[in-house]
Structures are given as structure tokens and as C-alpha cells.
Amino acid sequence: MAASDPTPQGMPAPDAVKILVAGGFGVGKTTMVGSVSEIVPLRTEEPLTTAGLGVDDLDGIPDKQATTVALDFGRISIGDDLVLYLFGTPGQQRFWFMWNDLAIGALGAVVLVDVRRPESSFAAIDFFERRKIPFVIGVNGFYGEHPYEPDEIREALALPEHTPVLLFDARERASCRDVLIALLDQLIATSAR
Amino acid sequence: MNGGDAAGRLVRPFTLTGGRTRPSRSDFTLITTVTAVDPQPVGGARPQPEHTRILRLCAKPIVVAELATGLDLPVSVVAIMLCDLLEAGRITVRQPRLISRTPDLDLLKKVRDGLGRL
């Protein structure tokens, strides 16, 4: 796309890359995006398309809001010419038809886990494993508490040894940043191999 | 879902696209950057009000997801209207860096260093 760069105003558009933040419903995805984003997290809504038909039985649901799915995202400027976008994937399983589109072109993913109900993140782990999209696990300590060690969690989630598991707090900017850095370190180590 | 506007919008989203539900081309991802051409080409069909709003919002480079939020419209609807504007020569498009199976090590290091400075 060199032809459109720089833009007619002479202001080069920055490069854009993205990382997905996934995990079960209510696990802290929106909180994490909000903690680390330089802008107030934005939200866009998508109507359910035919891709959702058959999956989403909307019969008997009078609330029309159920026909849209919200997508949260935040932005981190990496210097003048590169912007990292974080996309919180829709948590409810019935919205997963959107995930394929979201995953295209992503550097990798952070899968958030709530140790009180780890099973809510199994499907997200499965999704990225099957597509060979690199990911790290961020164990969100509710009330800042971490009752389990990373190794115990890795074992409980049946993850390979090389998958980083980080205990963090989605409310803390520095904590979220460290999880993202762990993902990048993992990506760099894998691509240098 | 977010409470939104209880009365709903006056115009149903896909009315803005003339009933089309898919863009004619797949140039527009969530993080594709669009910029209004300045000055705008003369002649041709006059842009509709929603198109004009888009052109105003993308006077500076903006990605599709942010544009959709600014317009309070679904990304899928915005993508169709962006196709119209692209075909009319009113916007330029910049695709995100393609991440292949063997990602760009320099790019990864740049993101890593940037995060380290946060």
C-alpha cells in the first residue's frame, strides 16, 4: 500500500497491529482493555448476521438488544508510526462465529482465566490451540488474590509446558502491560527459533 | 446490550447501505486505516449525509473500528459505505501489517520495546 502512504495531507498513517483478549464471560477482558488502553475503551456493536443463524435461537427473546454483539477495543501507541489495538473478544459462546474474523492478522492472544471457574476459558484456549495462534494465560486475581501457583493452573488447564501462565490483576495497568510483554517475549522466542 | 438509545435509531443500519449486507470488496478489516482524500474529487455523485460524516471523521487517518464507534454504526455497515467512498476515489486505504506464520521479528521487537516503555 505504498501508494497511499504518506496520505495526501503528508501525515503518514501509522501501522496497525492487534492482539486479542479472550476468555469466558465476565473474566475481566473489558477491564484489561480499559486498564492498558490510552483511550477510553471503545465499543462497537455488530448485528448478528446469517452466520449466527442456527447457532442463536432468538425465538422467545423479546429483547432486541440480543441481536447485536458488542466488541470492546483499546489502543496503545507504540511510537509515532505503530499502533497496537487490543480487541476483547465477545465472551458468550454463541458469538464465536465472530472470532475467526477477529483472529485474522492478530499477533497473538491473551486468554484470561478466572480460577473460580477455569472451565469458562477452555473454549478460548481450544480455539487458539487449534488455529496455532500463539497465546499466554493471564490469571486474573479477583480481589487481587491468587490462591494457585502458575504450575498448578497450567496443569489444570492441560497446557503445554512452554505456555506462559501469568498471575495478574486486570485492574492494574502495569500488571496488564507485563502480560502483554510476556506474550511478545513468547512470540519473539518462537519466531527466532 | 449497552443500554444504548432506548428509542432506537431512526434509520435502520442497512438502509444506509441500500439493503446491501456485504461489502463489494474485502479491503476493510477492523484495523484497516482510512483517510479522506484532500481535496475531495470534484464531480461524481454527491455523497450521502452518512458518507459525509465518514469523510469528516477520517480527515485524519483512522482505523475502521474507531470509525464505526465514532459513527455509532456496526463495522459491517461502515465497511460497505467505505467501499462506496473508495470506489468514488474519496478515501485512501492502508492495510494493516500482515502477520504471517513467520512474523516480522523487527516488528515484534518494536512492539515489545514500546510496551516496555509504558
Residue A183: CB atoms within 10 A of its CB come to: 25
CA distance A120 to chain B (A): 21
The pLDDT value recorded for residue A46 is: 67
Contact A110, A183 (CB under 8 A): yes
CA distance B10 to chain A (A): 15
How far CA B83 is from CA of A13, A192, B35, B40, B61, in Å, comes to: 19, 38, 13, 16, 16
Domain total of chain A = 1
B33 contacts in chain A (CB < 8 Å): 13-14, 16
* Alpha helices, H only, chain B: 49-57, 64-71, 75-87, 105-116
Residue B114: pLDDT band (50, 70, 90) is very high
From chain A residues 69-108, the ones with a CB under 8 A of any chain B CB are 69-71, 73, 75-79, 82-85, 87, 102, 104-107
Report pLDDT digits (tens) over A59-75.
444 443 445 567 889 99
CA distance A70 to chain B (A): 7
The pLDDT value recorded for residue A165 is: 97
From chain A residues 3-22, the ones with a CB under 8 A of any chain B CB are 4-5, 7-9, 11, 13-18
Instruction: Choose, out of B2, B94, B117, the residue to mutate when testing the contact with A (most A CBs < 10 Å).
Output: B94
CA A51 to the chain's CA centroid: 21
Task: Over range B7-28, report the average pLDDT.
Answer: 74
CA–CA gap between residue A49 and residue A109 (Å, rounded): 25
The pLDDT value recorded for residue B24 is: 74
**B68 vs A44: CB contact, 8 Å cut-off?**
yes
Report pLDDT digits (tens) over B79-111.
999 999 999 999 999 988 766 555 689 999 999
What angle is formed at CA A111 by the lines to CA A106 and CA A114, rounded to 5 degrees? 160
What's the ipTM?
0.81
Closest partner residue to A11 (CB to CB) among B29, B30, B61 is B61
**A8 vs B92: CB contact, 8 Å cut-off?**
yes
The pLDDT value recorded for residue A48 is: 57
User: Which residues lie closer than 8 Å to B18 by C-beta, 6 or more apart?
Assistant: none
Q: Is the pLDDT of residue B65 over 80?
A: yes
Residue B113: CB atoms within 10 A of its CB come to: 13
Contact A89, A80 (CB under 8 A): no
In the chain, the amino acid numbered B13 is P
Contact A42, A73 (CB under 8 A): yes
Domain with residue A93: its CATH number is: 3.40.50.300
| Angle between helix B64-71 and B75-87 (nearest 10) | 110
What are the strands of the beta sheet with B91-94, ordered from one edge? B62-63, B33-36, B91-94
Name the grid cell of B4: 444504548
From chain A residues 36-75, the ones with a CB under 8 A of any chain B CB are 36, 42-47, 49, 65-66, 68-71, 73, 75
Contact A125, A159 (CB under 8 A): yes
A144 touches chain B (CB under 8 A): no
* Residue A165 structural domain: 2-192
Report pLDDT digits (tens) over A89-112.
876 666 666 777 788 889 999 999
The domains found in chain B, sorted by start residue, are 13-116 (1.10.10.10)
The pLDDT value recorded for residue B74 is: 84
The pLDDT value recorded for residue A56 is: 43
Cβ-Cβ pairs closer than 8 A, A with B, add up to: 143
Each of the 193 residues of chain A gets a pLDDT tens digit; together they read 444 444 444 556 788 999 999 998 888 999 999 999 998 877 776 665 544 444 444 444 444 344 556 788 999 999 888 999 999 987 666 666 677 778 888 999 999 999 888 888 998 999 999 989 999 999 998 887 899 999 999 999 999 998 999 999 999 999 999 999 999 999 999 887 7
Most confident of A16-25, B7-16, B37-46: A16-25
**A82 vs B118: CB contact, 8 Å cut-off?**
no
